[in-house]
Amino acid sequence: MALDPSARESNVRDSVKRFFVDNIERVERIAVTFDVELSTPKIQGVEVDRWISVIFGSLDTEFLSTQMLDVYCCSKKDSEGFKLAQLRDTVMGYLSDITATDGMKRIPFYRSYPNLSDWTLLGAMLVQEVLESSEQEGPDKTKYKLITCKLRFPSKI
């Protein structure tokens, strides 16, 4: 028996990827990677000096499902952490909604199709909780902050 589209992990992942690529990468012109943590991406062979990496955490599928995300905000060649602070502010701006009465962002939740460009909108995933780490530094002098998000969305199981 096939899963309902609202309970499919592939739809959750594709929707999150689309959200970050459409907003952070295309609008803000900031490199986005998935599931590689602190690895510095290259654009046309040149390492970037700021990027985000989105790591998918646990998925708990229930009538009100939960997807955990870790968003690493990373910068290099950033002695005082100013680029990192700007990057953090940009990401937090996309994870909140000051126009909503509850301040919580709704991320469009799609049914994705591997061979079609048109996706079907199923609803939205609510950014319910955002936790932020202090500034850290990796062994290669990459500065980073970890933003952990809890997404909630209804599922038919």
| pLDDT for position 88 | 97
The torsion defined by the Cα of 13, 85, 147 and 70, in degrees rounded to 10, comes to: 40
Burial per residue of 40-65, b for 16 or more beta-carbon CB atoms within 10 angstroms, e otherwise: beeeeeeeeebbbbbbbeeeebeeeb
| pLDDT for position 43 | 65
Number of domains in the chain: 1
In this prediction the pTM is 0.91
| pLDDT for position 11 | 94
Cβ proximity of 35 and 55 under 8 Å: yes
Q: Which residues of the chain, if any, have pLDDT below 70?
A: 1, 37-44
| pLDDT for position 19 | 97
Domain that holds residue 41: 5-154
The torsion defined by the Cα of 95, 99, 101 and 106, in degrees rounded to 10, comes to: -40
Cβ proximity of 72 and 22 under 8 Å: no
The token pair at 156 is 């038919």
CATH of the domain at 68: 3.30.2000.20
The torsion defined by the Cα of 19, 23, 24 and 30, in degrees rounded to 10, comes to: 130
Pick the closest to residue 94 from 137, 130, 121, 48 (CA basis). 130
